[in-house]
Amino acid sequence: MADYELGDNRYGKSRIRLVTVRRGPERHHLRDLTVAIALEGDFDAVHTAGDNANLVATDTMKNTVYAFARDRLTSSPEAFGLELARHFAAYPMVDRAIVDISEHGWDRVATPGGEAPDAFVRSGDVTRLARVEAETGGGVEIEAGLDDLTVMKTTKSAFTGFDRDRFTTLPEVDDRLMATRIRATWGYRPELVPSGGAFDFDGAWERAHGQLLRTLAEHFSSSVQASIWIMGTAMMDAEPSIEWVRMVLPNLHHWKVDLAPFGLDNPGEVFVSTTEPHGLIDATVRRRAAG
């Protein structure tokens, strides 16, 4: 009989939906999160012998998120993730606890008298991301990011000089629409971000997000790859605590419509938007190691 062993494995609870309302005397404060917990550790017997003694139930993970939200979700999603990750990493059978958080934005409804204190509309323009990994020995890795940020440049974008062979039909263009849905994640430099969480994660996220948008608007893009480099380095210049930036950008194509059959010209004003198939560019920009 062949010998077998268990390979890499993890388990957890995904898509834990969490909404909190802090009821202040003047206005209410709304938070909307989706949380995922994953654990790695001594779970061999669970798989190979059906012994659940070392198993933390995923329902317990869900309940812990809700219990911690009562008085520990008071600042950034990174700080909340750190609380959860350290809690689960303290279990004797756990080697590593991973917490992923997506925070969904809500804006206050505008009224003639100003912003409503207790009515909100889903903003939906960007999802804030946080990821915390805590190990039993105390090591911590913290990442942040954003997703679903759909952007477009109507000029200052080109694509020329690429390789051509007998299967190439794409024309070169020196002025095109560039549209994408940005997923950007970044890791913090451990020497600048205390593992205890005493760091302005909200401020760092706002600076990175703001610089990303400003650079997108201002730079000339010779390719999506070049844009990742330009935007990623600008984000790290603006926020020295960032060690690396990864961007995953689908190319949301907008093709200029040929209006010649109708006796009309098209000076770059009428386009057809397509989502499939699309190019997908994935790259990481990091600080060069000293020495």
Question: Known catalytic residues?
Answer: 13, 58, 253
Buried b (16+ CB within 10 A) or exposed e, 60-69: ebbebbeebb
Count Cα atoms within 13 angstroms, Cβ side, for 193: 26
Extended beta strands in the chain, E state:
11-23, 28-41, 94-111, 114-135, 140-153, 178-188, 242-251, 254-256, 271-273, 279-286
Q: In angstroms, what CA-CA distances link 73 with 30, 36, 44, 106, 129? A: 11, 15, 33, 16, 15
Say which DSSP state 171 is in: P
Q: Within 10 A of 259 (CB to CB), how many other CB atoms are there? A: 13
DSSP assignment of 176-230: --EEEEEEEEEEE-TTTS-TT--S-HHHHHHHHHHHHHHHHHHSPBS-HHHHHHH
SS3 262: helix
Neighbours of 58 (CB within 10 A): 16
The two structure tokens encoding residue 217: 């608007």
Question: What is the rounded distance in angstroms from the CA atom of residue 225 to the CA atom of residue 18?
Answer: 36
| Residue 111 and residue 158 in contact, taking contact as beta carbons nearer than 8 Å | no
Query: Can the peptide bond before residue 277 be classed as cis, meaning omega within 30 degrees of 0?
Result: yes
Do residues 244 and 285 make contact, with C-beta atoms less than 8 angstroms apart? yes
